[in-house]
Structure 1
Amino acid sequence: MGIRERKEREKTERRQAILMAAQRLFNEQGFEKVSMRNIAETIEYSPATIYLYFKNKNELLFALQSQAFGQLARSFESVFAIEHPAKQLEAVGHKYLEFAFQHPELFELMFVMNGPMQAVEARGETTPWASGRAAFERVVQVMQHGIDAGVFTRTDNAETAALMAWSQVHGLATLYLRKRMMIFPEDRRQAIMEEVMALFAQVLQHGL
């Protein structure tokens, strides 16, 4: 390995160390309470070193958000082994809920906090949110498969249907995480969310 390659590897490793320390602190203390200085102190870097990699906290949050969306997108990959489109769609919903419930702090970073999106806007790029789009495209693929197979007969627009599906399962995740599913008995909450996802798949096939 040459000097240049070694330096690039060290730079990548240092950047990842910063992100790992930041994620740990955010999990322990909350996003608002952690500063760039706190992160630097945790890994014994100077604050100036942190700013070589992330110009501000929003940029750091955006990097963590991008990693989280990559993790979510990868979790969707297993559904493509399922043959029937309706079952694929239900599996995507289950994967989404599983991710949200296992990583509520990341879910907040991905969908609630303004900081990462302010970083996106500051970049001013034509297609600024590639990580979010990549996860969404997995759902579009599922919808397009259902349309092409003649299973989802109530729409011919995979993107619109994907956004509808995403919105629905996102709503379920949010209701659960914000304790609004307490309108149902505890032993009913998981089951009713599964019933909702199954009903949505049926609507796409046959209508109400």
Structure 2
Amino acid sequence: MGIQERRTRQKENLRQEILDAAREMFVEEGYDSVSMRKIAERIEYSPTTIYLHFKDKADLFNQLCEETFAKLAERLGALQRRHTDDPLAYLREGLRVYIDFGLKHPNHYTVAFILHPQESCDYNFEDSIGKRAFDYLRTAVMVCVEMKKFRHLDVDTTAQALWAAVHGVTALLIVHTDFPFVAKNRLIDHTIDTMIRGLQS
């Protein structure tokens, strides 16, 4: 490995270390209680080092969200390629993949979908990886309507309603661990089945 390649890898590793520490601290303490200085102390670097990678705390937060959206979009994209001839099967499995992703990566999910910073983070959804992830869901709904798997519905309203449902289940299972939920898989499957049946022709 050459010197330049080694430096590039070290820079990437440090950037990831900053992201991982910030994510953990945002979940533990809340966005507004965490400063760039605190993050620097956690990883034992100077605050100046963090500013070499991120413009400010809002930029760091947005990059954490984009990292999570990219991981989710990758899974949904791979699933879509396996279900090119059956959009309904893709939609059903995609909703399950979304929930499973959140439950497997609760800190990622909490930062991207549950935390609500008081300050504006200027997140541009239209140009984001988050929109790409959501578009997998929207496209699946659109194709189901076009193929008459669903009755005639407004695509945007339906996609957002489906997202609201699976987000609700995911967030509740992450946040309210002391609630006496029924068996997790039964709750998830019932939620998805109820939503899908309500949309079918």
Q: Provide Cα deviations, 1:113-141, integer angstroms capped at 9, x if missing partner.
A: 223982125xxx6x556122111011012
Residue 152 of structure 2 aligns to a residue in which SS?
A: coil
Residue 115 of structure 1 aligns to a residue in which SS?
A: coil
What is the match of residue 130 of structure 2?
132
Normalised to the residue count of structure 1, the TM-score between the two structures is 0.77
Using the alignment, how far apart are the partners of 2:157 and 2:86 within structure 1? 20
Superposition deviation, residue 166 in structure 1: 0.6
Alignment check: 8 A CA contact 1:61 1:116 kept: no
What is the match of residue 101 of structure 2?
99
Question: What residue ranges of structure 2 are gaps of 5+ in the alignment?
Answer: none
Alignment check: 8 A CA contact 2:72 2:101 kept: yes
Matches within 5 A, 1:103-182: 103-115=105-117, 118-120=120-122, 130-155=128-153, 157-179=154-176, 182=179
Alignment check: 8 A CA contact 1:19 1:64 kept: yes
Percent identical among aligned pairs is 29
What is the match of residue 90 of structure 2?
88
Alignment check: 8 A CA contact 1:36 1:57 kept: yes
Question: What residue ranges of structure 1 are gaps of 5+ in the alignment?
Answer: none
Q: Provide Cα deviations, 1:121-179, integer angstroms capped at 9, x if missing partner.
A: 5xxx6x55612211101101211221222212231x33322111111111222232233
Using the alignment, how far apart are the partners of 2:105 and 2:51 within structure 1? 27
Normalised to the residue count of structure 2, the TM-score between the two structures is 0.79
Superposition deviation, residue 198 in structure 1: 1.4
Superposition deviation, residue 59 in structure 1: 1.7
After TM superposition, what 4+ stretches of structure 1 lie above 6 angstroms from structure 2?
3-10
Alignment check: 8 A CA contact 2:23 2:108 kept: no
Q: Indicate the larger mover: 10-19 or 56-65.
A: 10-19
Tell me which amino acid in the other structure corresponds to 1:120.
D
Tell me which amino acid in the other structure corresponds to 2:193.
A
Alignment check: 8 A CA contact 2:145 2:151 kept: yes
1:110–1:117 CA distance, 2 compared to 1 (3 A): farther
What is the match of residue 185 of structure 2?
190
Give the number of aligned pairs: 198
